[in-house]
Amino acid sequence: MKFFAGVDGGGTTTRCVIFDQEGNISGYGKAGPANYHAAGSAVTGDSLLTALQNACATLPPGYEIEGLFLALAGVVSDKDKRIILELSQFLLQKFTINPGNIQVNHDCQAALTGATGGTSGIIVISGTGSSCYGENGQGESWMAGGWGYILDDLGSSYYLGQQALVSCVQCYDGRGPFTILLREILHKLGLQRVEELMHWLYFPTLDRAAVAGLAPLVIQAAEADDSIAQNIVKKGARELAVMVKAVAEKLNMRAAEIKISTAGGLVNEAAYYRRAFQATLGEMLPEALLINPFLPPVIGAALLGYRQAKGIISPEILAKLNCQQKLLD
Amino acid sequence: MKFFAGVDGGGTTTRCVIFDQEGNISGYGKAGPANYHAAGSAVTGDSLLTALQNACATLPPGYEIEGLFLALAGVVSDKDKRIILELSQFLLQKFTINPGNIQVNHDCQAALTGATGGTSGIIVISGTGSSCYGENGQGESWMAGGWGYILDDLGSSYYLGQQALVSCVQCYDGRGPFTILLREILHKLGLQRVEELMHWLYFPTLDRAAVAGLAPLVIQAAEADDSIAQNIVKKGARELAVMVKAVAEKLNMRAAEIKISTAGGLVNEAAYYRRAFQATLGEMLPEALLINPFLPPVIGAALLGYRQAKGIISPEILAKLNCQQKLLD
């Protein structure tokens, strides 16, 4: 029997979904991180293996995976893709996979395909990091943002946390105005003095997730009317909208194509932040339509595996998958 | 015979100067890095030992070091000072030093003391990183900036390089306007595609000095009329002036006290950048006076060792040291 598989690998979790020719979800598995830049090749390979093993456990004997799509965070350049393709060759020995239909790309493509069901649109991802990716009706794609925390991640949880820390030290040393973030952040981190922030931040090494973990404090302070926190939120939301606008312009998208979906904990779960994004998007790109994702990224990845093998994605498959998506956690 | 010693330890080089009671420079030594956060305690201890050994080599037998001041980059909090003081106890066994007169502080204090000869004023440091430190006539001191590259280093070479890279990726992905920096930076780094910047920047790990090494390109592009590069320079210079203003305000300095001196390769050696700083300083703090440093930071450190032992610094000592400073490289 023939199946189609997708892997969505991120900085902390890797998911795998497998469905059959009718769109019945037949397998689902999870594993650890699969961003090979951050976690290394060995861990990434291990996560791919484990996620696939867990998903294949429920397949019938004699199964065959007709198409496999690996959607992985940190896969940006052609060099990244080559490295991951080589790395994943060992999967052919462990599973029955059509070797001609293995594809690798960044995780944004799978998130967009899931969100729109494979039609044109733009996805904005804002969790620990941030990026934006779009596809138009002419088969063209473009990405903005996603250049990592030193140059980018604008509008992400990391950005909110980092900007909050900047506001704290500048408030303390006299360059910036008062903000309740200073008290709140020291309290949350259990620190007595501002100078101790440097130890927390730099030693032994920068923990980006810990900085991103300050984002909820920023949202709270903004809700409590702290104008500095409100500015940080506004700037972050604006940066996300700037990414969307850049992608829409690069792809010469028609108004009907500018369906925007979002992924990632910050923009999807923090209502205050999502409203700020929606407001600035309305100003900057009035023709854009914010939609709820039709399917989660991991099913988007499996759909890309399906499309690689079959050429197209039928509405029946999409509808069937949509009914089952609640099965996944 | 009695001597006074100062150590100026930075991210790459540590210097030590020793002078006698009349202000004759009797010893000078150099060694490797002494920022214990970056280089580690072992390397820092080794650099302190080597710099002192080299400086003591030319002292007469039976010498005694009456006062020793260790001015080290990265010493910010009281915890840092305690750690360095403990670490430097082993020096007492190797050299004849009055144990009651060993002091530790950040490198800015020594730079200021050298620059002004121990009177009130403000020093702005802008090399790979940046910070600003001032002392007023009432014995109060304040520091702004210097919170490390994740939160600060505004107006430093690292900042210029990082902002240039941000401009490149945003120019490329459609968020920002055209800049010749994109071509110039790829060319300088020997890269074909913008995506390769990420490998260069993040793998295996961030090289801040390499990012700071792009600063001269930014200055060149600004001189060649690239408006993006000019904006980066303007923003950077402004950030330095903001630090100065914050320090002057926190210390309630009188106009006569606001003598500003500078240290670090960027603000001291890049004439275009220095002019930009001077211009924005003139706008933001018209009562400030930009002065040339009277003595280099390492002699400033030795002066602090002298003051610790003797209580005051006489004009004769200052004048004598000033005549000899060309002996140091």
For A18-75, write each residue's pLDDT tens digit.
999 999 999 999 999 998 887 889 999 999 999 999 999 999 999 999 999 999 988 8
Cα angle: A175, vertex A178, A184; to 5 degrees: 120
> Does A77 contact B193 at a Cβ distance shorter than 8 Å?
yes
Q: Measured between CA atoms, how close is A77 to chain B, in angstroms?
A: 6
User: How far is residue A161's CA from residue A216's CA, in Å, rounded to a whole number?
Assistant: 9
Pairing mode of beta strands B259-263, B289-290:
parallel
Beta-bridge mates of residue B15: B8, B30
- The angle formed by the CA atoms of residues A130, B158 and B272, to the nearest 5 degrees, is 125
Q: Are strands A121-126 and A130-135 parallel, antiparallel or unpaired?
A: antiparallel
Residue B329 has pLDDT above 70, yes or no: no
Residue A85 banded pLDDT, cuts 50, 70, 90 = very high
Q: Is A274 on the interface with B (CB under 8 A)?
A: no
Shortest Cα distance, chain B CAs vs residue A146, angstroms? 10
Specify the range with the lowest mean pLDDT, choosing from A180-184, A209-213, B67-71, B204-208. B204-208
The beta-carbon neighbor of B144 closest among A142, A162, A175 is A175
Check CB contact of A205 with chain B, cutoff 8 Å: no
pLDDT in tens, B254-289: 999 999 999 988 999 999 999 999 999 999 999 999
Q: Establish if B250 touches chain A: CB-CB under 8 angstroms.
A: yes
Nearest CA in chain A to B198: A147
Chain A residues within an 8 Å CB radius of B199 = 77, 79
Contacts with A168 (C-beta within 8 Å, 6 or more apart), sequence order = A179, A181, A182, A185, A186, A194, A197
* B197 touching chain A per CB within 8 A: yes
What confidence category does residue B12 fall into, taking pLDDT thresholds of 50, 70 and 90? confident
The C-alpha of A327 sits at a distance from chain B's nearest C-alpha, in angstroms, of 37
Percent of chain A with pLDDT over 70: 100
List, for residues A264-309, the tens digit of each pLDDT value.
Answer: 889 999 999 999 999 999 999 999 999 999 999 999 999 999 999 9
SS3 sequence of chain B = CEEEEEEEECCCCEEEEEEECCCCEEEEEEECCCCHHHHCHHHHHHHHHHHHHHHHCCCCCCCEEEEEEEEECCCCCHHHHHHHHHHHHHHHHHCCECHHHEEEEEHHHHHHHHHHCCCCEEEEEECCCEEEEEECCCCCEEEEECCCCCCCCCCCHHHHHHHHHHHHHHHHHCCCCCCCHHHHHHHHHCCCCCCHHHHHHHCCCCCHHHHHCCHHHHHHHHHCCCHHHHHHHHHHHHHHHHHHHHHHHHCCCCHHHCEEEEECHHHHHCHHHHHHHHHHHHHHCCCCEECCCCCCHHHHHHHHHHHHHHCCCCHHHHHHHHHHHHHCC
Q: What are phi and psi for residue A226, nearest 5 degrees? A: -75, 120
- Separation in Å, CA A263 to CA A39, A109, A131: 22, 12, 10
Q: Determine the average pLDDT of the residues in B186-190.
A: 97
Nearest-neighbour CA in chain A from B238: distance (Å): 12
Residue A196 predicted with pLDDT over 70: yes
Whether chain A has a CB inside 8 Å of the CB on B196: the answer is yes
Contacts of A193 in chain B (CB under 8 A): 77
% of chain B exceeding 70 in pLDDT: 100
Asked casually if ipTM beats, i.e. exceeds, 0.85, the reply is yes
What is the rounded CA–CA span in Å between residue B2 and residue B66? 6
Domain covering A2-117+294-327 assigned CATH 3.30.420.40 in the classification: yes
B207 in reach of chain A (CB within 8 A)? no
Q: Is the pLDDT of residue B10 over 90?
A: no
Whether residues A201 and B148 touch (CB distance < 8 A) is answered with yes
CA distance A237 to A254: 23
* Model confidence band, residue B66 (pLDDT cutoffs 50, 70, 90): very high
Q: How many CB atoms lie within 10 A of CB B190?
A: 8
Calpha distance B278→B76 (Å, rounded): 27
Location of structure tokens 């925390």: A149
Nearest-CA residue of chain A relative to B143? A173
Q: Give pLDDT tens digits for A96-141.
A: 999 999 999 999 999 999 999 999 999 999 998 999 999 999 999 9
| Residue among B142, B151, B250 minimizing CB distance to A169 | B151
- From chain A, the residues in CB contact with B162 under 8 A are 150-151
Mean model confidence pLDDT for chain A: 94
Listed by start position, the domains of chain B span: 2-117+294-327, 157-290
Pairing of strands A141-145, A64-72: unpaired
Calculate what percentage of chain A has a pLDDT beyond 90: 87
Q: Give dist(CA B211, CA B138) in Å, integer.
A: 40
Parallel/antiparallel/unpaired status of strands A25-31 and B289-290: unpaired
Interface check for A197 against chain B (CB to CB < 8 A): the answer is: yes
Task: Determine, for residues A175 and B243 on separate chains, whether the beta-carbon distance falls below 8 Å.
Answer: yes
**Residues with Cβ < 8 Å from B87, sequence gap 6 or more?**
B36, B41, B44, B45, B48
For testing the chain A interface, which of B149, B151, B163, B171 should be mutated: the one with the most A CBs within 10 Å? Answer: B151
- Helix ranges, chain A (H): 36-39, 41-56, 78-87, 91-94, 107-116, 157-173, 181-189, 196-202, 208-212, 215-223, 227-250, 265-269, 271-284, 297-310, 315-324
Does residue B204 have a cis bond before it (omega within 30 degrees)?
A: yes
At B325 the pLDDT is: 83
**Radius of gyration of chain B, Cα coordinates, nearest whole angstrom:** 21
| B38 at A interface, C-beta within 8 A | no
User: With an 8 Å Cβ cutoff, is B203 touching chain A?
Assistant: yes
Task: Specify which residues A143 forms β-bridges with.
Answer: A133
The confidence score (pLDDT) of residue A203 equals 82
What's the CATH fold of domain A157-290? Nucleotidyltransferase; domain 5 (3.30.420)
Stretch B306-324: mean pLDDT, rounded?
A: 94
| A143 shares contact with chain B (CB less than 8 Å) | yes
The sign one gets for the Cα dihedral B194, B198, B200, B206 is positive
* Closest CB to A144 among B165, B174, B195: B174
Picking from B145, B169, B197, the nearest residue to A173 by CB comes out as: B145
Question: Tokens at residue B178, please?
Answer: 């055209």
Q: Does A178 touch chain B (CB under 8 A)?
A: no
Chain-chain contact of A148 with B173 (C-beta, under 8 angstroms): no
Establish whether domains B2-117+294-327 and B157-290 are of one fold. Answer: yes
**How far away is chain B from the Cα of A169, in angstroms, using its nearest Cα?**
8
Kindly list the distances between the CA atom of residue B200 and the CA atoms of A39, B175, B178, in Å, as whole numbers in the listed order: 18, 22, 22
Write out chain B residues lying below 8 Å of A202, CB-based: 37, 148, 150
Does the beta-carbon distance from B144 to A173 stay under 8 Å?
yes
